[in-house]
Structure 1
């Protein structure tokens, strides 16, 4: 990789309460701490290994919940304690990434930061890193940059980015103006986007000078920005705990898309680098099934993870993930999803996988919230 990235710092927001992949993912062990893809490596560890060649170990920061700090350090022994930002409670990505940017800017003025989720699945790491290098070069020009994923299907599960005119940036030949962000579309609209070739999936990756990102935050969410600056100013001082306890819970919960990316796009200050690599946010069990598609290790078309020898299927297809010694028998069901753990069993279908989050809400109000 090029050696002109000495001022580049990676930020890994590692949050979540495990609602969309319950019961495989739980509040005390969300999906980024799990080996969701069956590769033998957790999503968090894979994210680290993807970024380290660009930054070295010393320029990666992780923002995570206090409850996950110990396990994060266990999975990432190279992570410097100085670079761990523990949240007392989740306040969404504007607060998480904003605080990391403010801390890094105070420690390393002029730094470029990149935010990369801890729980996404990416293949073709070399192509990913090439896209990041281009993004850093575009960020050096004062732009906020995102990496958009070249869509391979008309998905309704992701937001979209409409890419505009090419930008003439030295070292970033594929950079294009961002014309607009679009929320998750309906199927017909998604098909039109795919056919046009003008749209990319929004993967939530943002690269910018820390000072530029903070300036955008100050303009669009001034109270949130003021709180972030107050915490960052105290972060490397004895006052940290008192200031965090007082200020952090008051910060607005809002995604960085709304406080930074979309406002910057409206002003012509956002660029996109198309990413030609495999990407999935593994956001529900339909996505997990997609990851394991074609790996049918039962007599029927069922992908069984964990204990395939204990899964018996007849005229069925789908995904089974087992963490128990039970025999699981399936007959006459298509695209079924079965998640079997010691204290909870989930049965759904790929089509209805998005409903798991609502199901978790019902469990939270039931007599058995302990399984969350």
Structure 2
């Protein structure tokens, strides 16, 4: 009888160890640092005064933004091609201390002129700076779209924040460079708008705003475009992977002007496992359509060795995964030309802030608009625990 009792005691011991074993397996196989946005909420907007000047430069054309958590500053790049002033970036303060963004709480405080490797200012028309990403070395990487019509190549360069001087230049794969035949390379004003660096500072990503000429059509009304995401290894400053990103088709609304533009103006790395936020922006004839997506590189094909998607056909190529996070047209906000985004500081309630900024194109009819959101970022393990333990949500 005692033997039988001992046999039935064994399962109780097993039941004790099963949760421990499961937790160990979860910790081993789940990418703990991978994240996902589980909620997003709008917490306000602000606009800069029209015609605002700082240190004898006109503040405008702010196409990309990045956050310096150590100093609580934001750096915003202007896409002025040297027509208003020299190529430059601005330092801003954005006050979110009350948990929201209010008018008058965004203040430009400094201008940094960008200098080439010889310490000289860039010539007018030489740059079209659109993207910016902060390193952990008091430097920023900045992307330029170049000028395909004038065969001026796009670039990605690293600049000192203290001096503004160029430190390094990343090589651009030949497939992206324009040529006289107009049969390959970037389309004019549709190149490297986006720029982001992973939290571990090991990888930099940029993307074409629209398809390369040899990859497919540019975005049109009701037609998306295949963009390339380009990954650099910052340990050796070399490009190493590319991925296919397909933008969404957008329908124009009351397009009496006949003008339409759509594309991918920015990316934001959320973790070191290939998860991003992506921003898609369209001018629809009457206002702007802005959408924010969660993006994952998981399962996407590396197309680095494919020079032309049209030549090989892209139907069998696995694109990056996308999930719509927010259609900004659902907000009660008059949208402008939103082109840049960055994570900001933690808010008083502990949630993560997200900042977006618009390029006013130095147009009197447009505004430099800053939008603020709070987002909840969760790891796969936290999401799993919330499903297993519903009270965790309370």
Q: Name the TM-score class by shorter chain.
A: under 0.3
Higher strand share: 2
TM-score scaled by length of structure 1: 0.23
TM-score scaled by length of structure 2: 0.22
Higher helix share: 1
* Higher Cα radius of gyration: 2
